[in-house]
Amino acid sequence: MIVALIDSGLGLLPTSAWLRRLRPELDLLLSLDPDGAHWGPKPEEWVIDRVVGAAEHAVDLGAEVVVLPCNTASVTALDHVRARLGDEIPVIGTVPAIKPAAAASRSVAIWATAATTASRYQADLIERFANGTAVVGVACHGLAEAIDLGDTDRAKQAIADAVARTPADCDGVVLGCTHYPLMAGEIADQLPAGVTLFDSAEAVAAQTLRRIDALGRDASGSGSVTVLLSGRPGELPAGAAAFEAGRLLG
């Protein structure tokens, strides 16, 4: 079975790596969009067209399941992708792990891109899932961009800046951009001891597997990894090799 994962850049790696660990026989189609990255600052209709087009192309190539391991794609285009692909193709979106973080923490910081931090979407998630826990948004300027380049030194600088702007009493940090788990070890090292990180990659992978099992189809495959770059056959960007998930999939 082919599972397509769609993101503008390397943010699809954490969920893809979890799928590889949990079901190594699945065939993965990794659809990146270097021509259009990054999606966060782009107009909503542009993002919808881009994501829907990538999903349709993936299905044309044989994908039976589509995953959007990207917060921007999920909030902007998830419903449109589902409407276009119909009920036969499961489409799984991504939501930042605010609910589990709020349940386990006294005070939570949500690290995200500047666009997401300022969005109505994140404010609505906090209102729905914080359950009275104090939550603050921290915009991580340049972190996703540095990760896409595989520039770990620049990423470490962006992490240090975010740590400096994270309230000292926060004991939970939500990694609200799917790129950020690729630097989870460095983030944990720079945050004070006792701070717990929360991300959604493993949960999204688990939900994907539940949806696959519910189909009742033969999900076996050869364990292949195919990469599309703005719709063209290609390879993972060189920067992916800077991260364990990228090396696992490469």
**Interval 92-134: pLDDT, tens:** 999 899 999 999 999 999 999 888 888 888 899 999 999 999 9
Both 114 and 168 in one domain: the answer is yes
Q: Please identify which of the residues 26, 68, 162, 177 carries the catalytic annotation.
A: 177
Which residues lie closer than 8 Å to 107 by C-beta, 6 or more apart? Answer: 133, 134, 135, 136, 167, 169, 170, 171, 172
Question: So what's the pLDDT on residue 174?
Answer: 98
> Cα–Cα distance between 205 and 135 in angstroms, integer?
26
Pairing of strands 65-67, 2-6: parallel
Which residues constitute the domain of residue 83?
Answer: 2-94+201-249
> Cα–Cα distance between 250 and 244 in angstroms, integer?
10
> Cα–Cα distance between 2 and 61 in angstroms, integer?
9
**Interval 20-71: pLDDT, tens:** 999 999 999 999 999 998 888 889 999 999 999 999 999 999 999 999 999 8
CATH code of the domain covering residue 136 = 3.40.50.1860
170 an active-site residue?
no
Closest by Cα among 152, 177, 169 to 38:
177
Q: Please identify which of the residues 70, 97, 115, 170 carries the catalytic annotation.
A: 70
Q: Which of 156, 183, 198 is the last residue of a domain?
A: 198
Q: How many domains does the chain have?
A: 2
Q: Which of 183, 198, 213 is the last residue of a domain?
A: 198
Residues in the chain: 250
> Cα–Cα distance between 195 and 105 in angstroms, integer?
9
Indicate yes or no: pTM above 0.85.
yes
Question: So what's the pLDDT on residue 71?
Answer: 87
Both 232 and 188 in one domain: the answer is no
Both 185 and 239 in one domain: the answer is no
**Interval 145-199: pLDDT, tens:** 999 999 999 999 999 999 999 999 999 999 999 999 999 999 999 999 999 999 9
Cβ atoms 233, 242 nearer than 8 A: no
